[in-house]
């Protein structure tokens, strides 16, 4: 009390901290509180009262709304919690679909940055503020290169609070779906965390594409040509046969129709077909294999293995089974059989570049 620390009443709850003779500069402390605790400060239901004293004098408290680098995230947060509606095409608010009947994931707000916000030296670009119950920013998650500079805020639902908490390391600076602590919770906890991170990246990428100004018909035709020329087939091959087929160990892949792009209602789909058979020079008469067809998104930094475009695969004249682990098709190859596989992706934006990847794995 002699140091000016006020005692709480018996019926009062909360946490009070007094740091004496601290070597941290007040300006740095205030900046850090603003950067990581602004959702708590701005949350009317919770709040965070901070008093900073230096050399016996009270100094200015944290004011996150005065920070140009934080204002876009604050706007997204207020959209996510329903306090502020989207202001136009360059804003978006939404709730993720449930993982199951009981598991809600949370809500998000996204916004496109204007030129003034981008040129600010302190600006955070293409990041999403990850927020859960205590209303602290756990991380400003990087989402990679986007067509338009965007930011976002995600507020987790109560039903995933415990899983997210256990996914954080001691430093509480990220959500890790592979955290060992999640293994002690339940088998779905890691899936919940991964679903949140994957959906956020997919959602902000889609939002940036949709917010792009409309292109002329000529530009669309040129983009289609680029994708037709750049759409490459790269199976995990060991050998290439002279007739254009591919061998992956004892399995031969022969394309009937190479992967190609279809334009439909302002979007694109990729499609194609191939035959699968035992190679002529192998001694086995049959093999059980898992066949997977993926449509991967090509980004500036390379091919993204996250959030592939959903792809449907069928086999002519054969009732197939799906492998639960990989999602691939399980089928039996026998001597002289030539199974015909057809694939087609779901629609994706015109400005995406994609790559089809076919993999065949022999089951033991």
Q: Is 159 within 8 Å of 175 (Cβ atoms)?
A: no
3-class DSSP assignment, residue 19? coil
Q: Which helix (H) or strand (E) holds 195?
A: helix 189-210
Domain holding 32, by residue range, is: 1-67
Let me know whether 154 and 90 are in one domain. Answer: yes
Are 276 and 351 in a shared domain? yes
For residue 216, is pLDDT > 90? no
Predicted model pTM: 0.58
Residue 189 shares a structural domain with residue 233: no
pLDDT (tens digit, 9 = 90+) per residue, 127-141? Answer: 999 999 999 999 999
Q: Is 351 exposed, middle or buried (0-12, 13-18, 19+ CB in 10 A)?
A: middle
d(CA 30, CA 63): 9
Residue 102 sits in the same domain as residue 185: yes
Domain boundary among 210, 231, 256: 210
Tokens of 136: 């602290």
User: Count of domains in the chain?
Assistant: 3
196 and 85 both lie in a single domain: yes
7 contacts: CB under 8 Å, gap ≥ 6: 1
The strand pairing partners of 252, in sequence order, are: 247, 277
252 and 324 together in one domain: yes
Q: Choose one of 210, 241, 268: the last residue of a domain.
A: 210
Judgement on whether residues 250 and 334 belong to the same structural domain of the protein: yes
* Residues 293 and 316 occupy one common structural domain: yes
Q: What is the pLDDT of residues 307-359, one digit of tens each?
A: 889 999 999 888 778 888 888 899 888 887 889 999 999 998 877 888 888 88
Three-state SS at 359: strand
Helices (H) and strands (E) counted in the chain, each on its own, are 6, 19
Check whether residue 352 and residue 234 sit in a common domain.
yes
Q: Closest by alpha carbon to 363, among 283, 249, 199?
A: 249
Residues 194 and 134 in one domain: yes
Whether 224 and 356 map to the same domain: the answer is yes
* Domain final position from 167, 190, 210: 210
Q: What is the pLDDT of residues 197-214, one digit of tens each?
A: 999 999 999 898 888 766
Task: Tell me: do 198 and 248 sit in the same domain.
Answer: no
């Amino acid at each position: 009390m002699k140091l000016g620390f006020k005692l709480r009443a018996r019926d009062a709850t909360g946490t009070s901290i007094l740091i004496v003779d601290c070597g941290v500069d007040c300006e740095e402390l205030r900046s850090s509180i603003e950067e990581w605790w602004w959702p708590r400060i701005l949350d009317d239901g919770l709040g965070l009262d901070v008093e900073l004293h230096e050399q016996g004098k009270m100094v200015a408290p944290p004011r996150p709304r005065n920070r140009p680098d934080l204002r876009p995230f604050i706007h997204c947060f207020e959209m996510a919690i329903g306090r502020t509606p989207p202001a136009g095409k360059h804003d978006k608010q939404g709730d993720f679909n449930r993982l199951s009947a009981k598991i809600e994931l949370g809500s998000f707000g996204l916004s496109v940055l204007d030129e003034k916000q981008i040129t600010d030296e302190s600006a955070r670009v293409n990041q999403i503020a990850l927020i859960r119950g205590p209303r602290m920013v756990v991380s400003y998650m990087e989402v990679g290169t986007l067509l338009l500079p965007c930011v976002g805020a995600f507020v987790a639902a109560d039903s995933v609070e415990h899983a997210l908490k256990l996914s954080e390391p001691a430093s509480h600076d990220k959500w890790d779906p592979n955290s060992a602590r999640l293994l002690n919770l339940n088998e779905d906890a890691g899936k919940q965390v991964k679903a949140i991170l994957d959906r956020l990246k997919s959602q902000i990428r889609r939002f940036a594409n949709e917010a792009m100004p409309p292109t002329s018909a000529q530009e669309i035709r040129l983009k289609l040509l680029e994708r037709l020329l750049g759409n490459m087939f790269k199976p995990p091959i060991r050998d290439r046969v002279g007739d254009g087929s591919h061998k992956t160990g004892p399995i031969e892949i022969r394309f009937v129709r190479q992967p190609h792009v279809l334009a439909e209602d302002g979007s694109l789909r990729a499609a194609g077909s191939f035959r699968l058979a035992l190679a002529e020079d192998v001694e086995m008469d049959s093999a059980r294999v898992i066949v997977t067809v993926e449509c991967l998104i090509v980004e500036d930094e390379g091919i993204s293995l996250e959030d592939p475009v959903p792809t449907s695969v069928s086999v002519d004249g054969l009732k197939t089974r799906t492998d639960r682990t990989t999602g691939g098709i399980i089928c039996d190859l026998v001597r002289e059989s030539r199974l015909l596989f057809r694939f087609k992706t779901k629609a994706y934006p015109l400005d995406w570049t994609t790559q089809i990847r076919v993999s065949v794995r022999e089951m033991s």
